[in-house]
Chains A and B, each alone.
Chain A
Amino acid sequence: MSKHLSGSQIVCEALLNEGVDVVFGIPGGAILPLYGVLSEYPDLRHILSRHEQGAAHAADGYARSTGKVGVAFATSGPGATNLVTGLATAMMDSVPMVAITGQVGRTAIGTDAFQEADITGASMPLTKHNYLVMRADDLGATVHEAFHIARTGRSGPVLIDVPKDVFTEMGDYDPEAPIDLPGYRVPGKADESQVEAAAELINQAERPVILAGHGVVLSRSFDELMELAEKAQIPVVTTLLGISSFPEDHVLSTGFPGMHGMAYASLAVDEADLIINFGSRFDDRIIGDALRFSTGSKKIHVDIDPAEINKSIRVEAPVVGNIKDVFGQLIPKVKQATHVGWLQHIEHLKAEHPSLKIPESDRLMGQHVVKALSDVTKGEAIITTGVGQHQMWAAQHYQFKNANSWLSSGGAGTMGYEVPSAIGAQVGNPDKLVWSICGDGGFQMTLMELATVVENKLPVKYAILNNNHLGMITQWQGFFYNGDYQAETYTANPDFVKLAEAYEIKGIRVTRQDDLEAAIAEANAHDGPVVVDCVIEKVDDLYPMIPAGQSVQELIEEPN
């Protein structure tokens, strides 16, 4: 049944019909008509961010941690452009999001009107799809299309730009109208012949390795991954974004490979005779030099996006389909196996190349903080991070036990993701413990969102790995620019404890290893947000490291 409503009402009703219960955003002139009807829709909770980038990352954190589509609102011009980093971050990591932006009135479009920005033009390469909606009559169908596109297939962000006068125009909304997208197909099951070919390779393999990527997480195929790995006794290596798709206390868990991954994981991938890639795009941080990547192995690539097949690495057996469906097709065809010798060899690699050895030191180091967090929370917290050394230490030393408990900007590498993504994760998981492992650099890029934390009474715990440095930059300048250090030291970091207190957040400072566990326990026990300022070693390189574009032969395991 069609309803006659204002554009703003159509948007809200369509959002509710999509099951949206929370929106992150900031109002402004062009989107005010939409805010003007929010009071009619109390089920649509609006969380006021402090910066639109924060709104976008919060929607992203909400989406990753719940599997639902995250929603962000912003006004035209600078409001919309402030969203862009968040869209790019979601796009690179295939995170389902819908952003709704206000636009100047229809007749003003193209006139360089006040706060006009061509956000559909600007966001075209950074979204899965976008719309400029010119009639209120089209709004309902557009919102439903946008959600369908955002959450199906290879998920991703979709932006809907709405001129101010389209929000106020009256239009017809039919919630039941079918979606008509003739150019959009959602892969489900894979072609049987592709699955057969993959199963045959798996059954013949002597040294198989599963490479579990973000696709396993996005398709929520954790049980299926476990079933396959256990049935054929195949070691599981995850990608950075595949972390938490497989419990790390499982014997088959073999870490993550690549630039800062565990040496044993990179070696296992290199020595394998078959790589079974589920939903990883063979990212350059994993493969390094494509011509020297695991040259002795055949490769199966299961992906929902046909364009990823043979993009970076040529594979013997492509399987295009929804990963969950493909697991269902594949598992019955895979024979039980033991791979005793190969698994022993993997154990040997783990013993010979421990990778996670924390250097002996009385000083407080980033690794100690993550290790303590892992121990105190028993590997059961939801972890979000920024980008840099702290991110990699988090990936290496936190022992993830729960599925989908790792939120990190992998593809885009967006510093500043740590603060707002934790907000989204906590909003989506009010009863879970959310810890954000922050860099002092990234934290300062989005710390204004602490106000959002307080305003919404979110008990997020922030651990700043405060090295007074852009640590990763320091490391690269040391390794690759002859130690010519430039613009990597902060000489004026704020006092993060006082800063927290200014927001009426509990602040704790830790400077010694011995105080770590107590501080973390105190933070966990506190009924509200906490900032733990962990003053760590100023300059400390992160190992292992495979320099960009190199291969496992160039792996640097330890400081020399």
Chain B
Amino acid sequence: MALGNGTFQRTISALVQDKPGVLARISGLFRRRGFNIASLAVGRSERPGMSRMTFVVEGPDEVVRHVAAQLDRLIDVVEVHDITEQNIVWRELALIKVSAPAATRSEVLELANVYRSNVIDIGIESLTLEISGGRQKIDTLIELLKKFGLLEVIRTGRVATLRGTLIEGEDDGLFQADASAPTYILPVPTGETGSV
């Protein structure tokens, strides 16, 4: 999706082997090829010995369209999907510690409520909220909380997966594909596999 000034974002989901150095290989590749990681989330996957990573990558369209193909060259990367143009669901998570003395506390709680965020810690002068959702939703809440005094904001990268249904994914206005650009399809090699 176009962010203006020729920069595009793509969402990539990769299944990687849990091997020492795998993150170094991936981050080295990103640095070398001029891909900027806007966010990265890593965790154990449903398959033993494998982790799943979700990247949001930023850069010129011609460049970021190659992220998936370049990642696929890494031996430790088992599967990679550029899911930018696909029907996906995604979430990000943020923990927001906001100043909330008695005078403003109820107003903060009301906002938290509207945004369906949970209060996970209550201090004398502050509250810590947990919110998950699309980036815009989180951005907006943070924006609204600014006037109360943000003490700390901790955000994760996005995690994303393909929808199991045909219902169109919600649109947070940030991650649609650039419809005018020809879609880059990762050519899938046929024939022999790596196991011999």
Residue positions of A touching B, CB distance < 8 A: 120-121, 124-125, 128-129, 132, 148-149, 178-191, 194, 305-307, 309-311, 318, 320-322, 325
Nearest-Cβ distance from residue B128 to partner chain A, whole angstroms: 37
A-B contact pairs, 23 of them (CB 8 A): A124-B25, A125-B28, A125-B32, A132-B21, A182-B17, A183-B75, A183-B79, A184-B194, A185-B192, A186-B192, A187-B189, A188-B190, A189-B190, A189-B191, A191-B187, A305-B73, A306-B72, A310-B66, A318-B187, A321-B190, A321-B191, A322-B191, A325-B191
Chain A residues whose CB sits within 8 angstroms of the CB of B25 once the complex forms: 124
For the residues of A in contact with B, the DSSP-based class is loop
CB closest residue in chain A, given B14: A183
A306 near B186: Cβ-Cβ < 8 Å: yes
Cα–Cα distance between A178 and B193 once the two chains are bound (Å): 12
Cα–Cα distance between A110 and B191 once the two chains are bound (Å): 42
Nearest-Cβ distance from residue B92 to partner chain A, whole angstroms: 27
Residue from B17, B65, B72 having most chain A Cβ neighbours under 10 A: B72
A183 near B76: Cβ-Cβ < 8 Å: yes
Cα–Cα distance between A194 and B191 once the two chains are bound (Å): 15
For the residues of B in contact with A, the DSSP-based class is loop
Chain A residues whose CB sits within 8 angstroms of the CB of B29 once the complex forms: 125
- Residue B138 CB within 8 A of the other chain: no
The 8 Å CB contact of B184, one of A129, A189, A310, is: A310
The 8 Å CB contact of A183, one of B70, B77, B190, is: B77
- Residue B173 CB within 8 A of the other chain: no
Cα–Cα distance between A241 and B194 once the two chains are bound (Å): 28
Nearest-Cβ distance from residue B194 to partner chain A, whole angstroms: 3
A185 near B189: Cβ-Cβ < 8 Å: yes
Cα–Cα distance between A129 and B19 once the two chains are bound (Å): 13
A124 near B190: Cβ-Cβ < 8 Å: no
Nearest-Cβ distance from residue A177 to partner chain B, whole angstroms: 11
Nearest-Cβ distance from residue A390 to partner chain B, whole angstroms: 31
Question: Beyond A178-B196, A181-B195, A183-B77, is A309–B187 a contact (Cβ under 8 Å)?
Answer: yes
- Residue B93 CB within 8 A of the other chain: no
Query: Using a CB-CB cutoff of 8 Å, which residues 157-196 of chain B contact chain A?
Result: 184, 186-196
Cα–Cα distance between A309 and B73 once the two chains are bound (Å): 13
Question: Beyond A181-B195, A310-B184, A311-B66, is A129–B28 a contact (Cβ under 8 Å)?
Answer: no
- Residue B131 CB within 8 A of the other chain: no
Question: Beyond A120-B21, A124-B25, is A184–B187 a contact (Cβ under 8 Å)?
Answer: no
Chain A residues whose CB sits within 8 angstroms of the CB of B193 once the complex forms: 185-186
Cα–Cα distance between A132 and B19 once the two chains are bound (Å): 11
- Residue B74 CB within 8 A of the other chain: yes
CB closest residue in chain A, given B78: A183
Nearest-Cβ distance from residue B184 to partner chain A, whole angstroms: 7
Residue from B25, B29, B73 having most chain A Cβ neighbours under 10 A: B73
B73 near A307: Cβ-Cβ < 8 Å: yes
Nearest-Cβ distance from residue B51 to partner chain A, whole angstroms: 12
CB closest residue in chain B, given A188: B191
Cα–Cα distance between A186 and B190 once the two chains are bound (Å): 8
A306 near B187: Cβ-Cβ < 8 Å: yes
B72 near A307: Cβ-Cβ < 8 Å: yes
Nearest-Cβ distance from residue B69 to partner chain A, whole angstroms: 4
Residue positions of B touching A, CB distance < 8 A: 16-17, 20-21, 24-25, 28-29, 32, 65-66, 69-70, 72-79, 184, 186-196
B78 near A179: Cβ-Cβ < 8 Å: no
Nearest-Cβ distance from residue A411 to partner chain B, whole angstroms: 15
The 6 residue pairs across chains A and B that have the minimum distance between CB atoms: A188-B191, A187-B189, A184-B194, A181-B194, A320-B187, A307-B69
Chain A residues whose CB sits within 8 angstroms of the CB of B28 once the complex forms: 124-125
Question: Beyond A148-B196, A307-B70, is A129–B75 a contact (Cβ under 8 Å)?
Answer: yes
Chain A residues whose CB sits within 8 angstroms of the CB of B194 once the complex forms: 148, 179, 181-186
CB closest residue in chain B, given A325: B191
Cα–Cα distance between A187 and B186 once the two chains are bound (Å): 13
Nearest-Cβ distance from residue A104 to partner chain B, whole angstroms: 17
CB closest residue in chain A, given B185: A318
Chain B residues whose CB sits within 8 angstroms of the CB of A325 once the complex forms: 191
The 8 Å CB contact of B187, one of A183, A189, A194, is: A194
Cα–Cα distance between A350 and B9 once the two chains are bound (Å): 48
A186 near B66: Cβ-Cβ < 8 Å: no
Chain B residues whose CB sits within 8 angstroms of the CB of A186 once the complex forms: 189, 191-194
A188 near B196: Cβ-Cβ < 8 Å: no
Chain B residues whose CB sits within 8 angstroms of the CB of A305 once the complex forms: 73
Nearest-Cβ distance from residue A190 to partner chain B, whole angstroms: 7
Cα–Cα distance between A320 and B185 once the two chains are bound (Å): 12
Chain A residues whose CB sits within 8 angstroms of the CB of B196 once the complex forms: 148, 178-179
CB closest residue in chain B, given A121: B24
Chain B residues whose CB sits within 8 angstroms of the CB of A183 once the complex forms: 16-17, 74-79, 194
Cα–Cα distance between A489 and B107 once the two chains are bound (Å): 78
CB closest residue in chain B, given A184: B194
Nearest-Cβ distance from residue B101 to partner chain A, whole angstroms: 48
Cα–Cα distance between A445 and B68 once the two chains are bound (Å): 39
Residue from A180, A181, A307 having most chain B Cβ neighbours under 10 A: A307
Cα–Cα distance between A120 and B191 once the two chains are bound (Å): 31
CB closest residue in chain B, given A321: B189
Chain B residues whose CB sits within 8 angstroms of the CB of A190 once the complex forms: 190
Residue from B16, B73, B186, B187 having most chain A Cβ neighbours under 10 A: B187
Nearest-Cβ distance from residue B163 to partner chain A, whole angstroms: 25
Chain A residues whose CB sits within 8 angstroms of the CB of B69 once the complex forms: 306-307, 309
